Structure 1
Amino acid sequence: MKRKWIAYALCFLIAAGCAAGAWAARVNAGRSAASSLELLLPLSQQIMSSDKSIVIKHADTYQNYSDEKQFLDTGRMLGRLFELPEDGKLSREEDHILYRTATTDSHGADLTMLWVGFFDHTSELILTGGSGPDTSPADMIELQRKLTDKLQSIGIKPQWNVMIQGVLAGDDVASSPSPTDWLVAKLQAKQVEQYEDNGSTSITYYSPFISEHISNGKQAMNLQVAVHRNSITQEKRVTIGTPAITIEY
């Protein structure tokens, strides 16, 4: 379990920022990866301006490796599978080795693969996709479906972390549509906890409509909504994610 969060942390650094909580990671698979994104899109369209970004992440264990050469060969094979450049970089760290390759697809979405090898020869495979200025929500849904099919083709059950981020629509929270009302009405979401600090508010929920979930140490959670106010511009940025927000908000 500790290694899963080491791998997640590496993924967050590549995505430029980490705001993950101290959760005991336990993801139960259920709905397809795309359905989680499709489930959040109507809410994002109600509470965010049109200029929004989408991030999808998969992170889970993968096969063991025998030595560094075999690790590199497998990394290149995985790169070919996900249609990534084969000239990825191999780096050596204190407690792991890392193979990284990345590309931008025809719709402007960025895709990064990290394969992390630990010194007991176990490994983690991490895929991160992020929308670009010209990437539509439909493009991200299609990318997620494509990656899901490829993961399943090598015997991996995808464990997706999905997030949408954008500027809050309206002049202030009071004049904007309430995500709480939408979540209760559409997803039967129940609030698990709330956190406020330095201009940010984060609310955690559990919804029976989202079958993937993790634990916060006390109870199940599978959805978060966060609002952060820029101290200079006073602009409010909204982030929604399932089963949790794992990017900077």
Structure 2
Amino acid sequence: MGNKGQSKGILVLVLAGICALMLLSGFRSAEPAGRSGVQSTVASAGAGELQESLALLTTLGGQASAPGAPLRLVLKWQGEYSGAASAEAAVQSLATRLGLGEMSSADDEGHRAWRSGAQLSGGTQISLFWSELGGGRSYCIVTLETADLLSSPELPDAAADAGRAMLQSGIAAEWNASLQAPAKEQGGTQAALLATERLLNAQFPGIQAEESYADVSTSSHSYSVPGLQRTVSSGSHSLALQLAVHKNVNADENRITLGMPLITIEY
């Protein structure tokens, strides 16, 4: 987002709500916990899809970013838990599966919430946030982040492992990924957006811009993309990819952000 004021906050809330409507194959179609054979098959399919998507994002990011620029990546797994175990027992079990250390707990707007985090060997940061919703339900977000994906070869496998851990904990989680870097194209954000869009057209025949957003420092398009299965429903559209270009006025530099299926970080 990068834009200031009320429109930024509204857009964040819209994106967060849309992410809850993701239409998924892979982990989303998981069977209830206990059917380990089905879970193993589903997890393998979901992990393959995730790693293919991360490889695609890396390729697109390398083409659209300034030469040699680091590719920041933020990947989020999120989903709801409503199993038989208590929230405290379930979150501790998930933290153990993720290899995280001590959990911190606090009251978050009337609901108990837990947090934990760690750094993997290659520099990837992994964090867990778990919040009770009431009625025996909880919401969980596992985030993996690296300042440069090209220097963090462990992230794709770690991301797949995190999805499997959530599935084993009874959470049919959904993932989204956002990649960010200084843009190859400078000048006005709209011109840079259209120049970058030409790269997408070459990569994805039939790609179609369905939604757009613009302000004085940001231009963004969200696309339907034939062949990409991971989508978000927005009105009558199934969106699979979002591109944003934001002008950092202090550095006089354009920054690109690519999201699959949508961007869920500040751009």
TM-score range, shorter chain: 0.7 to 0.9
1:184 is matched with 201
Residue number among 224, 227, 232 corresponding to 1:214 in the alignment:
232
Deviations 1:171-211 (A, max 9, x none): 44668993312222222321102111121001110112221
* Long gaps (5+) in structure 2: 1-8, 26-45
Partners of 1:114 and 1:207 in 2: CA distance: 31
2:58 is matched with which residue: 41, 60, 80? Answer: 41
Matches for 1:52-67 after TM superposition, within 5 Å: 52-64=71-83
Question: Is the 1:169–1:176 Cα contact (8 Å) retained in structure 2?
Answer: no
User: SS of the counterpart of 2:96?
Assistant: helix
Q: Percent identity?
A: 24
- For 1:88-103, list aligned pairs within 5 A: 88-103=103-118
Q: Does 1:248 align with 2:246?
A: no
Shift, 1:234, TM fit: 1.2
In the alignment, the residues of structure 2 paired with residue 165 and residue 79 of structure 1 have an alpha-carbon distance, to the nearest angstrom, of 28
**For 1:5-58, what per-residue CA distance to the aligned partner results, in whole angstroms no more than 9, with x for missing partners?**
xxxxxxxxxxxx995352543212236222221121111001113212011001
Q: Does 1:153 align with 2:172?
A: no
Distance 1:57 1:248, change over 3 A: same
Alignment check: 8 A CA contact 2:81 2:137 kept: yes
Q: Is the 8 A contact 2:124 2:152 kept in 1?
A: no
The structure that is helix-richer by fraction is 2
Q: 1:106 to 1:19 in 2, by over 3 A?
A: farther
The 3-state SS of whatever aligns with 2:229 is coil
Count of aligned positions = 229
**18-27 vs 74-83, greater mean Cα deviation:** 18-27
Counterpart in 2 of 1:196? 214
Give the corresponding residue for 2:145.
Answer: 130
Distance 1:59 1:140, change over 3 A: same
TM-score of the aligned structures, taking structure 2 as reference length = 0.77
